[in-house]
Chains A and B, each alone.
Chain A
Amino acid sequence: MTELTEPPEVRAGLSTRAAGVVFLVPGLAWLAIFFVLPLGIILLVSLGHKDAFGGVLLDRLNLDNFSRALQPEFLPAFVNSLRYALLTTILALLLGYPVAYWISRYGGRRKTLLLILVMLPFWTSYLIRTYAWMIILRDNGVVNSILAAFGLTNQPIILLNTDFSVILGMTYGFMPFAILPLFVSIDRLDPNLVHASRDLYASGRAAFLHVTLPLTMPGITAAALLTFIPAIGDFVTPDLLGGAQTTTIAKIVQNLFLSSRDWPLGSALGFILMVVTVSLTLLALRTLRREVIG
Chain B
Amino acid sequence: MNLARDEASVDLERTLVEYLADRRMTRRALLSRIAAAGATVALAPILAACAAATPSGSPIRSATAAASAADGSPSMAASASPTPASSPEGELFIYNWADYLGDDVIPSFEKRYKVKVTQDFFDNYDTMRAKIGQNGGGYDIIFPSSVDVPAFVKRGLLQPLDQVLIPNKTNLGTEWQSPGYDTGNVYSMPYMWWTTGVAYDSAKVAEPLDSWDALWMDKYKGHIVVLDDVREAFAAALFRLGKSVNTTVDGDLDAAYRLLAQQKPLVRTYTTDDIGALSSGDAWICHAWGSDVHQVTDRPTVKFFIPREGGVRGSDTTTILASAAHPIAANLFINHLLDARVSAANTNKIGYMGPNAAAIPFIDPAILADPSVNPKRAVIDSLQELLDLGPDLDKYTTRWNRLRAGG
Interface of A is mostly: loop
Contact, CB under 8 Å: A52 / B390: yes
Interface stretch (choices B212-220, B303-311, B324-332, B394-402)? B394-402
C-beta contact mask, B271-282 vs A, less than 8 Å → 1, else 0? 000000000111
Given known A161-B268, A244-B270, A262-B397, contact A73–B405 (CB-CB < 8 A): yes
Residues 108-151 of B at the A interface (beta carbon under 8 Å):
124, 126-127, 129-130, 133, 151
Contact, CB under 8 Å: B404 / A134: no
Residues of A within 8 A of B397 (CB): 255, 259-262
- A33 and B151 alpha carbons, distance in the complex (Å): 34
Contact, CB under 8 Å: B393 / A160: no
Residues of A within 8 A of B127 (CB): 258
Given known A53-B390, A54-B151, A243-B267, contact A138–B404 (CB-CB < 8 A): no
Contact of A161 among B130, B269, B391, B394 (CB under 8 A): B269
- A52 and B222 alpha carbons, distance in the complex (Å): 38
In the complex, B208 has a CB within 8 A of chain A: no
Contact, CB under 8 Å: B270 / A76: no
A276 to chain B, nearest CB (A): 15
Contact, CB under 8 Å: A161 / B282: yes
In the complex, B407 has a CB within 8 A of chain A: yes
- A259 and B227 alpha carbons, distance in the complex (Å): 13
A41 to chain B, nearest CB (A): 11
In the complex, B155 has a CB within 8 A of chain A: yes
Contact, CB under 8 Å: B402 / A134: no
In the complex, B230 has a CB within 8 A of chain A: yes
Residues of A within 8 A of B251 (CB): none
In the complex, A173 has a CB within 8 A of chain B: no
In the complex, B365 has a CB within 8 A of chain A: no
Residues of A within 8 A of B129 (CB): 54, 258, 261
- Name which residue of chain A comes closest to B284, CB basis: A139
Residues of B within 8 A of A75 (CB): 405
In the complex, B377 has a CB within 8 A of chain A: no
Residues of A within 8 A of B394 (CB): 260, 262
In the complex, B264 has a CB within 8 A of chain A: yes
In the complex, A242 has a CB within 8 A of chain B: yes
B108 to chain A, nearest CB (A): 32
Contact, CB under 8 Å: B404 / A247: yes
B219 to chain A, nearest CB (A): 14
Contact of A258 among B126, B154, B390, B402 (CB under 8 A): B126
Residues 246-267 of A at the B interface (beta carbon under 8 Å):
247, 249, 251-252, 255-262
Interface size band for A: 20 to 34
In the complex, A74 has a CB within 8 A of chain B: yes
Given known A77-B405, A259-B397, contact A139–B281 (CB-CB < 8 A): yes
In the complex, A221 has a CB within 8 A of chain B: no
C-beta contact mask, A79-111 vs B, less than 8 Å → 1, else 0? 100000000000000000000000000000000
Contact, CB under 8 Å: B269 / A54: no
A14 to chain B, nearest CB (A): 48
B304 to chain A, nearest CB (A): 21
- A160 and B273 alpha carbons, distance in the complex (Å): 15
Interface of B is mostly: helix
Residues of A within 8 A of B264 (CB): 244-245
In the complex, B406 has a CB within 8 A of chain A: yes
- A260 and B231 alpha carbons, distance in the complex (Å): 11
- Name which residue of chain A comes closest to B398, CB basis: A260
Residues of A within 8 A of B155 (CB): 53-55
Contact, CB under 8 Å: A244 / B393: no
Residues of B within 8 A of A32 (CB): none
Given known A73-B406, A251-B404, A260-B401, contact A138–B230 (CB-CB < 8 A): no
In the complex, A140 has a CB within 8 A of chain B: yes
Residues of A within 8 A of B268 (CB): 161, 243-244
Given known A52-B391, A54-B151, A244-B270, contact A258–B130 (CB-CB < 8 A): yes
Residues of B within 8 A of A74 (CB): 401, 405
Contact of B124 among A140, A245, A258, A261 (CB under 8 A): A258
B259 to chain A, nearest CB (A): 15
Contact of B280 among A52, A138, A260 (CB under 8 A): A138
B80 to chain A, nearest CB (A): 35
Residues 232-262 of B at the A interface (beta carbon under 8 Å):
none
- A239 and B367 alpha carbons, distance in the complex (Å): 33
- Name which residue of chain A comes closest to B127, CB basis: A258
- A258 and B122 alpha carbons, distance in the complex (Å): 14
Contact, CB under 8 Å: B281 / A138: yes
Q: Which of A139, A160, A257, A262 has the most CB of B within 10 A?
A: A139
In the complex, A158 has a CB within 8 A of chain B: yes
Residues of A within 8 A of B126 (CB): 258-259
Residues of B within 8 A of A247 (CB): 404-405
- A213 and B375 alpha carbons, distance in the complex (Å): 68
A56 to chain B, nearest CB (A): 10
- Name which residue of chain A comes closest to B393, CB basis: A261
Contact, CB under 8 Å: A140 / B281: yes
- Name which residue of chain A comes closest to B134, CB basis: A55
B264 to chain A, nearest CB (A): 6
Residues of B within 8 A of A262 (CB): 394, 397
Contact, CB under 8 Å: A255 / B404: yes
Residues of B within 8 A of A252 (CB): 401, 404-405
Contact, CB under 8 Å: B230 / A259: yes
- A249 and B407 alpha carbons, distance in the complex (Å): 12
Contact of B404 among A52, A77, A158, A258 (CB under 8 A): A77
6 contacts between A and B (CB under 8 A): A73-B401, A73-B406, A75-B405, A140-B280, A256-B401, A260-B230
Q: Which 6 A-B pairs have the closest CB atoms?
A: A258-B126, A76-B407, A260-B397, A77-B405, A244-B267, A52-B391
Q: 17 additional contacts, CB 8 Å, given A54-B151, A256-B401?
A: A53-B155, A73-B405, A74-B405, A134-B280, A139-B282, A161-B268, A161-B282, A242-B269, A243-B268, A245-B265, A247-B404, A257-B130, A259-B126, A259-B397, A259-B400, A261-B130, A261-B393
